[in-house]
Amino acid sequence: MGIVDFKKIRIATDGSTCSELAADKGIAFARLSGGTVYAVHVLSKAYLSAMDESAYSAVGTNPYWESIKEAFQKHWH
Amino acid sequence: MNSSIFKKIMVATDGSELTKKAVDSAIEITKLNEAKLYAVHVVAPGDFAITQNEPRDAEWKKEIKEHLTTQGKEATAYVENVGKAANIEVESVILEGNPADEIVDFAEKNEIDLIVMGTLGKTGIKRFLLGSVAENVVRHSKKAVLVVRRD
């Protein structure tokens, strides 16, 4: 094993098509290296403050969570 | 099982100490993917023009270019040696021109899946987090780019 072993891979996603492509690569890569994926989505403060409590509860959960899970399941059945 | 995601990988090296970690990463990824690795060095003689087209410039430029090419070959030979030890196929490539442009073009023309490079090398200024070559490659290449920072 080399000095670099890619055991921890952070995937930053905003749920867009582009970040899904990145997530696909990241997950497939983690599978090869035997690493762990840390999926991260950042809710920007500006975005949150623009939504009041009721608007946020209407959304329910993070709308991007499904796409992260989907990408994950595609590679790890 | 062949679940490799990158079939052709290139590592851009300027032979500096700072790109060694990028080389290590490239080798490891190549191994994991059972891919082929291209060790690319770009000779940029333009950077060393010191006078403005005086007659003796031609001779001077020729010597500089030869010197830079020798250095470049040493840089790619280093990757070949590390690759050989890791039992992977490495092909050395020496290009000439603007480093970022040449790296982007090479990746495009050779259908490279992943470009690996260091953040700053010989032209690096420490206060910049991202070297200008790396920055331009990240901005302009359609390929996946891995920028490796040194510790």
Asked if B5 lies within 8 A of A32 by C-beta distance, the reply is yes
Closest in B3, B24, B144 to A2, CB measured: B24
Between β-strands B8-12 and B144-148, what pairing exists: parallel, antiparallel or unpaired? unpaired
> Partners of B148 in the beta sheet?
B118
Compute CA distances B148 → A72, B22, B81, B96, B140, whole Å: 25, 5, 20, 23, 18
For residue B2, what pLDDT is reported?
57
> In terms of pLDDT, which residue wins out, A20 or B125?
A20
User: What are the extents of the domains in chain B?
Assistant: 8-148
| CATH homologous superfamily, domain B8-148 | HUPs (3.40.50.620)
d(CA A28, CA B3): 8
pLDDT in the model for residue B16:
83
Residues B95-124: tens digit of each pLDDT: 999 999 999 999 999 999 999 998 865 555
For residue B25, the chain A residues in CB contact (below 8 A) are 4
What is the pLDDT confidence band of residue B61, given thresholds at 50, 70 and 90? confident
- Most B CBs within 10 Å, among A1, A9, A27, A32, to test the B interface: A32
Q: What is the pLDDT of residue B18?
A: 78
- Residue B32: which of A73, A22, A34 has the closest Cα? A34
Residue with tokens 């040449």: B102
What is the enclosing helix (H) or strand (E) of A53?
Answer: helix A53-59
Per-residue pLDDT, B1: 46
Tens of each residue's pLDDT in chain A, 77 residues: 456 789 999 999 888 999 999 999 999 999 999 999 999 988 776 655 555 555 555 556 566 666 666 777 776 65
